[in-house]
Chain A
Amino acid sequence: MKAVVTVIGKDQKGIIAKVSNILFENEVNILDISQTIMQDMFTMIMLVDFESENVTLKQVVDKLEEAEKEMGLSIHVQREEIFTSMHRI
Protein backbone atom coordinates (compact mmCIF):
# COMPACT_ATOMS: atom_id res chain seq x y z
CA MET A 1 0.00 0.00 0.00
CA LYS A 2 1.33 3.40 -0.95
CA ALA A 3 0.78 6.42 1.24
CA VAL A 4 1.76 10.06 1.37
CA VAL A 5 3.42 11.39 4.52
CA THR A 6 3.15 15.16 4.83
CA VAL A 7 5.20 16.99 7.43
CA ILE A 8 4.56 20.68 8.02
CA GLY A 9 6.14 22.82 10.71
CA LYS A 10 8.72 25.36 11.77
CA ASP A 11 12.07 24.60 10.21
CA GLN A 12 14.45 23.00 12.68
CA LYS A 13 17.27 20.52 12.82
CA GLY A 14 16.52 16.83 12.55
CA ILE A 15 13.01 16.74 11.07
CA ILE A 16 13.96 14.53 8.16
CA ALA A 17 16.14 12.33 10.36
CA LYS A 18 13.39 11.87 12.92
CA VAL A 19 10.63 11.04 10.47
CA SER A 20 12.69 8.80 8.21
CA ASN A 21 14.00 6.93 11.24
CA ILE A 22 10.48 6.12 12.39
CA LEU A 23 9.61 4.95 8.90
CA PHE A 24 12.76 2.81 8.75
CA GLU A 25 12.06 1.20 12.12
CA ASN A 26 8.62 0.23 10.89
CA GLU A 27 9.85 -1.22 7.61
CA VAL A 28 8.25 1.51 5.56
CA ASN A 29 10.12 2.17 2.32
CA ILE A 30 10.54 5.77 1.14
CA LEU A 31 9.99 6.01 -2.61
CA ASP A 32 10.28 9.74 -3.11
CA ILE A 33 10.82 12.89 -1.07
CA SER A 34 10.24 16.50 -1.91
CA GLN A 35 10.69 19.40 0.44
CA THR A 36 10.14 23.07 0.20
CA ILE A 37 9.41 26.15 2.28
CA MET A 38 5.77 27.12 1.82
CA GLN A 39 4.47 30.26 3.52
CA ASP A 40 7.52 30.23 5.83
CA MET A 41 6.79 26.67 6.85
CA PHE A 42 8.99 23.67 6.28
CA THR A 43 6.97 21.30 4.15
CA MET A 44 8.08 17.79 3.35
CA ILE A 45 6.11 15.35 1.28
CA MET A 46 7.14 11.70 1.12
CA LEU A 47 5.70 8.95 -0.98
CA VAL A 48 6.12 5.74 0.98
CA ASP A 49 5.36 2.09 0.59
CA PHE A 50 4.10 -0.09 3.43
CA GLU A 51 5.97 -3.22 2.49
CA SER A 52 5.78 -5.28 5.64
CA GLU A 53 2.55 -7.06 6.37
CA ASN A 54 3.33 -6.91 10.09
CA VAL A 55 3.06 -3.13 10.26
CA THR A 56 -0.25 -1.34 9.97
CA LEU A 57 -0.77 2.25 8.99
CA LYS A 58 -2.13 2.95 12.43
CA GLN A 59 1.03 1.77 14.18
CA VAL A 60 3.13 4.13 12.09
CA VAL A 61 0.69 6.98 12.64
CA ASP A 62 0.90 6.47 16.40
CA LYS A 63 4.69 6.63 16.30
CA LEU A 64 4.65 9.71 14.10
CA GLU A 65 2.22 11.37 16.50
CA GLU A 66 4.90 11.21 19.19
CA ALA A 67 7.33 12.99 16.88
CA GLU A 68 4.58 15.47 16.01
CA LYS A 69 4.21 16.48 19.66
CA GLU A 70 7.91 16.42 20.42
CA MET A 71 8.92 18.70 17.53
CA GLY A 72 5.75 20.78 17.20
CA LEU A 73 4.98 19.51 13.70
CA SER A 74 1.85 18.60 11.83
CA ILE A 75 2.15 15.16 10.25
CA HIS A 76 -0.44 13.46 8.04
CA VAL A 77 -0.30 9.93 6.66
CA GLN A 78 -2.88 9.31 3.98
CA ARG A 79 -3.28 6.70 1.28
CA GLU A 80 -2.07 7.96 -2.06
CA GLU A 81 -5.45 7.53 -3.75
CA ILE A 82 -7.02 10.45 -1.92
CA PHE A 83 -4.70 12.85 -3.77
CA THR A 84 -4.75 11.17 -7.14
CA SER A 85 -8.52 10.89 -7.14
CA MET A 86 -9.01 14.51 -6.15
CA HIS A 87 -6.54 16.09 -8.54
CA ARG A 88 -6.37 13.71 -11.53
CA ILE A 89 -9.10 12.82 -13.97
Chain B
Amino acid sequence: MINPFEVIETIKMIDEENLDIRTITMGISLKSCAGPDIDTVCEKVYNKITTYAKDLVKTGEDIEAQFGIPIINKRISVTPIATLVDALEEPTVEKCVKIAKTLDRAAKTTGVNFIGGYTALVHKDYTNGEKILIESIPEALASTDLVCSSVNVGSTRAGINMNAVKQMGQVVKKAAELTADTQGFACAKLVVFCNAVEDNPFMAGAFLGEGEGECVINVGVSGPGVVKCALEKVKGEDFGVVAETIKKTAFKITRMGQLVAQEASKRLGVPFGIVDLSLAPTPAVGDSVAYILEEMGLEKCGTHGTTAALALLNDAVKKGGIMASGYVGGLSGAFIPVSEDAGMIAAAKDGVLTLEKLEAMTCVCSVGLDMIVIPGDTSAETISAIIADEAAIGMVNTKTTAVRVIPAPGKVEGDVVEFGGLLGTGPVMPVKGYSSAEFINRGGRIPAPLQSLKN
Protein backbone atom coordinates (compact mmCIF):
# COMPACT_ATOMS: atom_id res chain seq x y z
CA MET B 1 0.00 0.00 0.00
CA ILE B 2 1.10 3.52 -0.71
CA ASN B 3 2.29 5.50 2.28
CA PRO B 4 -0.40 8.05 3.27
CA PHE B 5 2.17 10.70 4.11
CA GLU B 6 3.61 10.44 0.62
CA VAL B 7 0.16 10.72 -0.92
CA ILE B 8 -0.58 13.82 1.12
CA GLU B 9 2.83 15.28 0.27
CA THR B 10 2.17 14.92 -3.45
CA ILE B 11 -1.31 16.39 -3.18
CA LYS B 12 -0.01 19.29 -1.12
CA MET B 13 2.68 20.01 -3.70
CA ILE B 14 0.06 20.26 -6.41
CA ASP B 15 -2.72 22.02 -4.47
CA GLU B 16 -0.76 24.43 -2.32
CA GLU B 17 2.73 24.73 -3.72
CA ASN B 18 1.92 25.18 -7.42
CA LEU B 19 3.60 22.02 -8.68
CA ASP B 20 2.72 21.62 -12.32
CA ILE B 21 3.97 20.40 -15.63
CA ARG B 22 4.73 23.63 -17.43
CA THR B 23 4.54 22.26 -20.92
CA ILE B 24 4.23 19.26 -23.17
CA THR B 25 5.88 20.32 -26.39
CA MET B 26 5.57 18.29 -29.56
CA GLY B 27 8.48 18.77 -31.93
CA ILE B 28 7.49 18.33 -35.57
CA SER B 29 10.01 18.26 -38.40
CA LEU B 30 8.99 20.37 -41.37
CA LYS B 31 11.91 19.31 -43.53
CA SER B 32 9.55 17.31 -45.75
CA CYS B 33 7.52 20.46 -46.46
CA ALA B 34 10.31 22.36 -48.22
CA GLY B 35 9.81 23.32 -51.84
CA PRO B 36 9.99 26.20 -54.32
CA ASP B 37 6.31 27.20 -54.35
CA ILE B 38 5.08 29.17 -51.33
CA ASP B 39 1.45 28.06 -51.55
CA THR B 40 2.38 24.39 -51.71
CA VAL B 41 4.79 24.84 -48.79
CA CYS B 42 2.13 26.52 -46.65
CA GLU B 43 -0.39 23.82 -47.45
CA LYS B 44 2.07 21.07 -46.56
CA VAL B 45 3.09 22.83 -43.34
CA TYR B 46 -0.51 23.28 -42.25
CA ASN B 47 -1.46 19.71 -43.06
CA LYS B 48 1.55 18.19 -41.38
CA ILE B 49 1.18 20.14 -38.15
CA THR B 50 -2.56 19.62 -37.86
CA THR B 51 -2.19 15.91 -38.56
CA TYR B 52 0.68 15.19 -36.19
CA ALA B 53 -0.62 17.36 -33.37
CA LYS B 54 -4.33 16.70 -33.74
CA ASP B 55 -4.57 14.77 -30.45
CA LEU B 56 -1.91 16.69 -28.52
CA VAL B 57 -4.19 18.98 -26.53
CA LYS B 58 -6.75 16.28 -25.77
CA THR B 59 -4.04 13.87 -24.66
CA GLY B 60 -2.60 16.54 -22.38
CA GLU B 61 -6.01 17.17 -20.86
CA ASP B 62 -6.65 13.44 -20.37
CA ILE B 63 -3.35 12.96 -18.57
CA GLU B 64 -4.08 16.01 -16.45
CA ALA B 65 -7.44 14.57 -15.40
CA GLN B 66 -6.25 11.04 -14.72
CA PHE B 67 -3.12 11.90 -12.78
CA GLY B 68 -4.45 15.02 -11.15
CA ILE B 69 -1.42 17.08 -12.12
CA PRO B 70 -1.98 20.39 -13.93
CA ILE B 71 -0.39 20.66 -17.36
CA ILE B 72 -0.29 24.37 -18.03
CA ASN B 73 0.70 24.51 -21.69
CA LYS B 74 0.62 22.34 -24.76
CA ARG B 75 2.94 23.60 -27.44
CA ILE B 76 4.47 22.78 -30.79
CA SER B 77 8.03 23.37 -31.94
CA VAL B 78 9.06 23.03 -35.57
CA THR B 79 12.16 22.93 -37.74
CA PRO B 80 13.71 26.41 -38.08
CA ILE B 81 11.53 28.07 -40.70
CA ALA B 82 14.62 29.59 -42.34
CA THR B 83 15.20 26.09 -43.78
CA LEU B 84 11.91 26.37 -45.67
CA VAL B 85 12.63 29.93 -46.74
CA ASP B 86 15.96 28.91 -48.23
CA ALA B 87 14.26 26.33 -50.41
CA LEU B 88 11.71 28.82 -51.79
CA GLU B 89 11.95 30.23 -55.25
CA GLU B 90 12.63 33.96 -54.84
CA PRO B 91 12.06 34.26 -51.09
CA THR B 92 10.61 37.55 -49.86
CA VAL B 93 9.51 39.02 -46.55
CA GLU B 94 5.88 38.63 -47.64
CA LYS B 95 6.37 34.93 -48.27
CA CYS B 96 7.96 34.50 -44.84
CA VAL B 97 5.03 36.25 -43.17
CA LYS B 98 2.71 33.97 -45.07
CA ILE B 99 4.42 30.96 -43.50
CA ALA B 100 4.16 32.61 -40.07
CA LYS B 101 0.43 33.07 -40.58
CA THR B 102 0.13 29.44 -41.64
CA LEU B 103 1.88 28.36 -38.42
CA ASP B 104 -0.49 30.56 -36.44
CA ARG B 105 -3.51 29.04 -38.15
CA ALA B 106 -2.23 25.50 -37.58
CA ALA B 107 -1.57 26.27 -33.91
CA LYS B 108 -5.10 27.59 -33.49
CA THR B 109 -6.62 24.56 -35.22
CA THR B 110 -4.79 22.18 -32.90
CA GLY B 111 -5.61 24.31 -29.84
CA VAL B 112 -2.04 24.65 -28.56
CA ASN B 113 -0.88 27.67 -26.57
CA PHE B 114 2.18 28.52 -28.67
CA ILE B 115 4.11 27.37 -31.71
CA GLY B 116 7.84 27.99 -31.84
CA GLY B 117 10.37 27.69 -34.61
CA TYR B 118 10.14 30.89 -36.61
CA THR B 119 13.84 30.63 -36.27
CA ALA B 120 17.18 31.16 -37.95
CA LEU B 121 20.53 29.81 -36.75
CA VAL B 122 23.13 32.30 -37.89
CA HIS B 123 25.88 31.99 -35.29
CA LYS B 124 28.53 32.03 -37.99
CA ASP B 125 26.88 33.58 -41.01
CA TYR B 126 23.62 34.00 -42.91
CA THR B 127 22.18 32.22 -45.88
CA ASN B 128 19.93 34.33 -48.13
CA GLY B 129 16.82 32.75 -46.70
CA GLU B 130 17.93 33.34 -43.12
CA LYS B 131 18.58 37.01 -43.81
CA ILE B 132 15.10 37.47 -45.24
CA LEU B 133 13.46 35.48 -42.43
CA ILE B 134 15.11 37.67 -39.80
CA GLU B 135 13.98 40.78 -41.67
CA SER B 136 10.43 39.46 -41.59
CA ILE B 137 10.34 38.71 -37.83
CA PRO B 138 8.74 42.01 -36.65
CA GLU B 139 5.90 41.78 -39.13
CA ALA B 140 5.49 38.03 -38.62
CA LEU B 141 5.17 38.44 -34.83
CA ALA B 142 2.95 41.50 -35.09
CA SER B 143 0.53 39.78 -37.45
CA THR B 144 0.22 36.48 -35.56
CA ASP B 145 -0.86 35.54 -32.03
CA LEU B 146 0.82 32.26 -31.18
CA VAL B 147 4.01 32.20 -33.25
CA CYS B 148 7.30 32.47 -31.36
CA SER B 149 10.59 33.34 -32.92
CA SER B 150 14.24 32.85 -32.03
CA VAL B 151 17.57 33.64 -33.62
CA ASN B 152 20.88 32.09 -32.62
CA VAL B 153 23.61 34.69 -33.04
CA GLY B 154 26.58 33.01 -31.38
CA SER B 155 28.11 29.77 -30.19
CA THR B 156 31.18 28.64 -28.31
CA ARG B 157 32.49 26.90 -31.42
CA ALA B 158 31.70 29.63 -33.94
CA GLY B 159 32.02 32.89 -32.02
CA ILE B 160 29.48 35.70 -32.31
CA ASN B 161 28.02 36.91 -35.58
CA MET B 162 28.06 40.63 -34.86
CA ASN B 163 26.24 41.47 -38.09
CA ALA B 164 23.33 39.40 -36.80
CA VAL B 165 23.65 41.02 -33.36
CA LYS B 166 23.38 44.43 -35.00
CA GLN B 167 20.36 43.37 -37.04
CA MET B 168 18.61 41.83 -34.02
CA GLY B 169 18.77 45.15 -32.18
CA GLN B 170 16.83 46.67 -35.06
CA VAL B 171 14.45 43.72 -35.25
CA VAL B 172 13.59 43.92 -31.53
CA LYS B 173 13.05 47.65 -31.83
CA LYS B 174 10.83 47.33 -34.88
CA ALA B 175 8.83 44.46 -33.35
CA ALA B 176 8.11 46.71 -30.35
CA GLU B 177 7.08 49.61 -32.58
CA LEU B 178 4.73 47.48 -34.68
CA THR B 179 2.97 46.34 -31.51
CA ALA B 180 3.02 49.69 -29.70
CA ASP B 181 -0.67 49.29 -28.87
CA THR B 182 0.17 46.25 -26.71
CA GLN B 183 3.31 47.83 -25.24
CA GLY B 184 5.64 45.95 -27.56
CA PHE B 185 4.14 42.53 -26.92
CA ALA B 186 5.74 41.03 -30.04
CA CYS B 187 9.12 41.22 -28.25
CA ALA B 188 7.83 38.79 -25.61
CA LYS B 189 7.67 36.20 -28.41
CA LEU B 190 11.23 36.77 -29.63
CA VAL B 191 14.46 35.40 -28.15
CA VAL B 192 18.03 36.01 -29.25
CA PHE B 193 20.23 33.06 -28.28
CA CYS B 194 23.85 32.12 -27.96
CA ASN B 195 24.40 28.33 -27.91
CA ALA B 196 20.71 27.61 -28.56
CA VAL B 197 19.65 24.05 -27.74
CA GLU B 198 17.78 21.88 -30.24
CA ASP B 199 15.29 20.21 -27.89
CA ASN B 200 14.07 23.07 -25.72
CA PRO B 201 10.35 22.72 -24.88
CA PHE B 202 10.08 26.25 -23.42
CA MET B 203 8.88 29.33 -25.29
CA ALA B 204 9.68 31.66 -26.84
CA GLY B 205 12.86 29.81 -27.81
CA ALA B 206 11.58 26.35 -28.74
CA PHE B 207 12.45 24.90 -32.14
CA LEU B 208 13.18 21.42 -33.41
CA GLY B 209 16.86 21.30 -34.22
CA GLU B 210 18.79 19.86 -37.11
CA GLY B 211 19.73 16.65 -35.27
CA GLU B 212 16.19 15.82 -34.18
CA GLY B 213 13.83 13.24 -35.62
CA GLU B 214 10.47 13.37 -37.36
CA CYS B 215 8.35 13.95 -34.29
CA VAL B 216 9.16 14.00 -30.59
CA ILE B 217 7.63 14.78 -27.19
CA ASN B 218 9.61 17.01 -24.83
CA VAL B 219 8.36 18.00 -21.41
CA GLY B 220 9.21 20.98 -19.22
CA VAL B 221 8.52 20.80 -15.49
CA SER B 222 8.04 23.59 -13.03
CA GLY B 223 7.85 23.98 -9.30
CA PRO B 224 9.68 26.89 -7.67
CA GLY B 225 6.94 26.93 -5.02
CA VAL B 226 7.68 23.35 -4.01
CA VAL B 227 11.40 24.10 -3.61
CA LYS B 228 10.64 27.19 -1.54
CA CYS B 229 8.29 25.29 0.78
CA ALA B 230 10.90 22.54 1.22
CA LEU B 231 13.52 25.14 2.16
CA GLU B 232 11.19 26.69 4.73
CA LYS B 233 11.61 23.49 6.73
CA VAL B 234 15.41 23.79 6.92
CA LYS B 235 15.70 27.40 8.08
CA GLY B 236 19.15 28.21 9.49
CA GLU B 237 20.75 24.94 8.37
CA ASP B 238 24.04 25.06 6.45
CA PHE B 239 24.40 24.96 2.66
CA GLY B 240 24.99 21.22 2.58
CA VAL B 241 21.48 20.74 3.92
CA VAL B 242 20.08 23.40 1.58
CA ALA B 243 21.61 21.70 -1.49
CA GLU B 244 20.44 18.28 -0.34
CA THR B 245 16.88 19.54 0.22
CA ILE B 246 16.75 21.13 -3.24
CA LYS B 247 18.11 17.96 -4.82
CA LYS B 248 15.48 15.76 -3.20
CA THR B 249 12.70 18.13 -4.20
CA ALA B 250 13.99 18.45 -7.76
CA PHE B 251 14.05 14.67 -7.98
CA LYS B 252 10.36 14.44 -7.07
CA ILE B 253 9.38 17.25 -9.43
CA THR B 254 11.28 15.69 -12.30
CA ARG B 255 9.72 12.27 -11.71
CA MET B 256 6.39 13.90 -12.48
CA GLY B 257 7.83 15.24 -15.72
CA GLN B 258 9.22 11.85 -16.63
CA LEU B 259 5.88 10.14 -15.92
CA VAL B 260 3.90 12.66 -17.97
CA ALA B 261 6.43 12.57 -20.81
CA GLN B 262 6.31 8.77 -21.01
CA GLU B 263 2.54 8.70 -20.79
CA ALA B 264 2.13 11.37 -23.49
CA SER B 265 4.66 9.62 -25.69
CA LYS B 266 2.84 6.29 -25.33
CA ARG B 267 -0.61 7.71 -25.95
CA LEU B 268 0.42 9.78 -28.96
CA GLY B 269 2.67 7.10 -30.42
CA VAL B 270 5.52 9.61 -30.63
CA PRO B 271 9.02 9.03 -29.23
CA PHE B 272 9.90 10.62 -25.89
CA GLY B 273 12.72 13.12 -26.28
CA ILE B 274 13.76 14.80 -23.06
CA VAL B 275 12.59 16.23 -19.78
CA ASP B 276 13.75 19.79 -19.27
CA LEU B 277 14.68 20.23 -15.60
CA SER B 278 14.03 23.93 -15.48
CA LEU B 279 12.48 25.71 -12.53
CA ALA B 280 10.06 27.98 -14.35
CA PRO B 281 8.29 30.62 -12.28
CA THR B 282 4.84 32.11 -12.87
CA PRO B 283 3.54 35.47 -11.64
CA ALA B 284 1.41 33.58 -9.06
CA VAL B 285 2.49 34.33 -5.51
CA GLY B 286 4.33 31.30 -4.21
CA ASP B 287 5.65 30.24 -7.61
CA SER B 288 8.73 32.42 -7.70
CA VAL B 289 12.44 31.65 -8.12
CA ALA B 290 13.27 34.95 -6.38
CA TYR B 291 11.44 33.77 -3.26
CA ILE B 292 13.64 30.65 -3.15
CA LEU B 293 16.74 32.86 -3.13
CA GLU B 294 15.17 35.02 -0.43
CA GLU B 295 14.29 31.90 1.58
CA MET B 296 18.00 31.07 1.56
CA GLY B 297 18.55 34.22 3.59
CA LEU B 298 18.68 37.18 1.22
CA GLU B 299 16.52 40.11 2.24
CA LYS B 300 15.71 40.85 -1.39
CA CYS B 301 16.54 39.10 -4.64
CA GLY B 302 19.26 41.10 -6.38
CA THR B 303 21.24 42.02 -3.31
CA HIS B 304 24.83 40.82 -2.76
CA GLY B 305 24.89 37.05 -2.49
CA THR B 306 22.16 36.52 -5.10
CA THR B 307 24.55 35.09 -7.70
CA ALA B 308 25.95 32.57 -5.21
CA ALA B 309 22.49 31.54 -4.06
CA LEU B 310 21.36 31.08 -7.65
CA ALA B 311 24.47 29.06 -8.52
CA LEU B 312 23.72 26.64 -5.69
CA LEU B 313 20.05 26.41 -6.65
CA ASN B 314 20.76 25.82 -10.32
CA ASP B 315 23.32 23.13 -9.70
CA ALA B 316 21.26 21.31 -7.07
CA VAL B 317 18.18 21.28 -9.34
CA LYS B 318 20.21 19.56 -12.05
CA LYS B 319 21.85 17.09 -9.69
CA GLY B 320 18.49 16.13 -8.18
CA GLY B 321 16.64 15.99 -11.46
CA ILE B 322 19.12 14.11 -13.54
CA MET B 323 18.56 10.73 -11.92
CA ALA B 324 14.80 11.11 -12.08
CA SER B 325 14.63 11.07 -15.84
CA GLY B 326 15.97 8.79 -18.52
CA TYR B 327 16.85 11.67 -20.79
CA VAL B 328 17.47 15.18 -19.63
CA GLY B 329 17.91 18.03 -22.06
CA GLY B 330 16.59 21.39 -23.15
CA LEU B 331 17.67 24.36 -21.09
CA SER B 332 17.58 22.62 -17.69
CA GLY B 333 18.22 25.15 -14.95
CA ALA B 334 16.52 27.92 -13.03
CA PHE B 335 14.80 30.55 -15.13
CA ILE B 336 14.84 34.20 -14.16
CA PRO B 337 12.23 35.91 -16.34
CA VAL B 338 11.69 39.16 -14.49
CA SER B 339 8.10 39.97 -15.46
CA GLU B 340 6.96 36.38 -14.83
CA ASP B 341 8.25 36.11 -11.27
CA ALA B 342 6.44 37.86 -8.41
CA GLY B 343 9.61 38.15 -6.32
CA MET B 344 11.67 39.55 -9.19
CA ILE B 345 8.97 42.05 -10.08
CA ALA B 346 9.01 43.30 -6.49
CA ALA B 347 12.82 43.41 -6.38
CA ALA B 348 13.01 45.27 -9.68
CA LYS B 349 10.40 47.79 -8.53
CA ASP B 350 12.52 48.44 -5.45
CA GLY B 351 15.57 48.98 -7.63
CA VAL B 352 17.50 46.12 -5.96
CA LEU B 353 17.38 43.88 -9.00
CA THR B 354 19.08 45.69 -11.86
CA LEU B 355 20.12 44.79 -15.37
CA GLU B 356 23.75 44.47 -14.25
CA LYS B 357 22.89 42.05 -11.46
CA LEU B 358 20.70 40.02 -13.78
CA GLU B 359 23.58 39.80 -16.22
CA ALA B 360 25.78 38.39 -13.46
CA MET B 361 23.04 35.93 -12.50
CA THR B 362 22.84 34.64 -16.06
CA CYS B 363 26.44 33.43 -15.74
CA VAL B 364 25.32 30.76 -13.28
CA CYS B 365 21.80 29.81 -14.31
CA SER B 366 19.64 28.83 -17.20
CA VAL B 367 19.14 31.20 -20.12
CA GLY B 368 19.61 34.91 -19.65
CA LEU B 369 18.11 38.37 -19.65
CA ASP B 370 14.53 37.25 -19.87
CA MET B 371 11.32 39.27 -20.03
CA ILE B 372 12.94 42.54 -19.12
CA VAL B 373 11.14 45.75 -20.01
CA ILE B 374 13.45 48.61 -20.96
CA PRO B 375 12.60 52.22 -21.86
CA GLY B 376 10.90 52.68 -25.24
CA ASP B 377 13.50 55.18 -26.42
CA THR B 378 16.39 52.69 -26.02
CA SER B 379 18.33 52.72 -29.29
CA ALA B 380 18.67 49.66 -31.53
CA GLU B 381 22.43 49.78 -30.99
CA THR B 382 22.05 49.65 -27.22
CA ILE B 383 19.76 46.62 -27.55
CA SER B 384 22.37 45.04 -29.83
CA ALA B 385 25.04 45.76 -27.24
CA ILE B 386 22.94 44.11 -24.51
CA ILE B 387 22.60 41.08 -26.82
CA ALA B 388 26.36 41.09 -27.49
CA ASP B 389 27.20 41.14 -23.77
CA GLU B 390 24.88 38.26 -23.04
CA ALA B 391 26.09 36.26 -26.05
CA ALA B 392 29.67 36.77 -24.86
CA ILE B 393 28.78 35.26 -21.47
CA GLY B 394 27.27 32.23 -23.18
CA MET B 395 30.09 31.85 -25.67
CA VAL B 396 32.87 31.99 -23.09
CA ASN B 397 31.12 29.86 -20.47
CA THR B 398 29.92 27.20 -22.93
CA LYS B 399 26.30 27.65 -21.92
CA THR B 400 23.07 28.84 -23.42
CA THR B 401 22.29 32.50 -22.90
CA ALA B 402 19.47 34.51 -24.33
CA VAL B 403 18.01 37.98 -24.48
CA ARG B 404 14.32 38.72 -24.44
CA VAL B 405 13.94 42.42 -23.78
CA ILE B 406 10.92 44.57 -24.51
CA PRO B 407 11.62 48.23 -25.35
CA ALA B 408 8.06 49.26 -24.48
CA PRO B 409 7.08 52.18 -26.73
CA GLY B 410 6.46 55.40 -24.85
CA LYS B 411 7.44 53.91 -21.48
CA VAL B 412 10.17 55.31 -19.26
CA GLU B 413 12.03 54.14 -16.18
CA GLY B 414 9.65 53.68 -13.28
CA ASP B 415 6.62 52.79 -15.44
CA VAL B 416 5.09 49.36 -15.17
CA VAL B 417 3.92 47.33 -18.16
CA GLU B 418 1.15 44.73 -17.80
CA PHE B 419 1.32 41.78 -20.18
CA GLY B 420 -1.16 39.59 -18.34
CA GLY B 421 -1.34 35.83 -17.97
CA LEU B 422 1.89 33.88 -17.62
CA LEU B 423 3.90 36.81 -18.97
CA GLY B 424 3.07 38.95 -15.96
CA THR B 425 4.04 42.50 -15.14
CA GLY B 426 7.26 44.26 -16.04
CA PRO B 427 8.68 47.31 -14.29
CA VAL B 428 10.69 49.35 -16.82
CA MET B 429 14.37 48.95 -15.95
CA PRO B 430 16.96 51.60 -16.78
CA VAL B 431 19.72 51.08 -19.36
CA LYS B 432 22.98 53.03 -19.62
CA GLY B 433 22.70 56.37 -21.36
CA TYR B 434 26.07 56.14 -23.10
CA SER B 435 26.25 54.99 -26.71
CA SER B 436 27.56 51.65 -27.97
CA ALA B 437 26.77 52.54 -31.59
CA GLU B 438 30.31 52.71 -32.90
CA PHE B 439 31.10 49.32 -31.37
CA ILE B 440 28.01 47.65 -32.84
CA ASN B 441 28.44 49.26 -36.27
CA ARG B 442 31.83 47.59 -36.77
CA GLY B 443 30.09 44.37 -37.85
CA GLY B 444 31.89 41.14 -38.65
CA ARG B 445 32.43 38.27 -36.27
CA ILE B 446 33.89 37.88 -32.79
CA PRO B 447 36.19 34.85 -33.07
CA ALA B 448 35.45 31.70 -31.09
CA PRO B 449 37.12 31.65 -27.67
CA LEU B 450 39.96 29.48 -26.48
CA GLN B 451 38.85 26.24 -24.87
CA SER B 452 41.87 25.81 -22.65
CA LEU B 453 43.77 28.14 -20.26
CA LYS B 454 40.41 28.78 -18.59
CA ASN B 455 40.94 31.38 -15.94
Instruction: Give the interface of A toward B (CB within 8 A).
Output: 3-4, 6, 8, 32, 34, 36, 38, 43, 45, 47, 57-58, 61, 74, 76-87
Contact = CB atoms under 8 A, between A and B. Distances in A.
A79 B6 contact: no
A86 B65 contact: no
Given A58-B65, A78-B67, A83 B1 contact: no
Give the bracket for the number of chain B residues in contact with chain A: 20 to 34
B69 A82 contact: yes
Q: Top 3 closest A-B pairs, CB basis?
A: A78-B68, A87-B6, A85-B259
Interface of B: 1-4, 6-11, 15, 65-69, 252, 255-256, 258-259
9 contacts: A36-B4, A76-B11, A77-B68, A79-B68, A82-B10, A82-B69, A82-B256, A85-B259, A86-B255
A78 B259 contact: no
B67 A45 contact: no
A85 B8 CA distance: 15
A86 B67 contact: no
Contact of A84 (B2, B4, B252): B2
Contacts of A80: 2
A86 B4 contact: no
A82 B2 contact: no
Contact of B256 (A6, A32, A76, A85): A85
A32 B7 CA distance: 14
A43 B8 contact: yes
Nearest to A39: B8
Contact of B7 (A6, A58, A79, A85): A6
Given A6-B7, A6-B8, A76-B11, A83 B65 contact: no
A57 B9 CA distance: 22
B66 A78 contact: yes
A84 B7 CA distance: 9
Given A38-B8, A45-B7, A87 B1 contact: no
Nearest to B66: A79
Interface residue SS majority, chain A: strand
A47 B1 contact: yes
Contacts of A86: 6, 10, 252, 255-256, 259
Given A57-B65, A74-B15, A82-B69, 4 more contacts: A38-B4, A83-B7, A87-B2, A87-B252
B66 A83 contact: no
Nearest to B260: A82
Contacts, number: 66
B8 A82 contact: no
Nearest to B4: A45
A38 B2 CA distance: 16
Contact of A82 (B1, B4, B15, B68): B68
A47 B15 CA distance: 20
Given A6-B8, A81-B259, A86-B256, A45 B68 contact: no
Contacts of A47: 1-2
A65 B65 CA distance: 13
Contacts of B256: 82, 85-86
Contacts of B15: 74
Max chain A Cβ within 10 angstroms of own Cβ: one of B1, B9, B68, B69: B68
A57 B68 CA distance: 11
Given A6-B11, A45-B7, A32 B1 contact: yes
Max chain A Cβ within 10 angstroms of own Cβ: one of B6, B7, B252: B7
A34 B15 CA distance: 21
A6 B147 CA distance: 40
B8 A61 contact: no
B181 to A, nearest CB: 41
Given A6-B11, A76-B11, A83 B68 contact: no
Max chain B Cβ within 10 angstroms of own Cβ: one of A32, A36, A76, A86: A86
Nearest to A83: B2
Nearest to A58: B65
A61 B191 CA distance: 41
A2 B304 CA distance: 50
B259 A34 contact: no
Contact of A4 (B2, B65, B252): B2
B256 to A, nearest CB: 6
A36 B3 CA distance: 12
A79 to B, nearest CB: 5
A68 to B, nearest CB: 13
Nearest to A89: B323
A58 B10 CA distance: 20
B166 to A, nearest CB: 48
Contacts of B11: 6, 8, 76
Nearest to B12: A8
Nearest to A31: B1
A86 B67 CA distance: 12
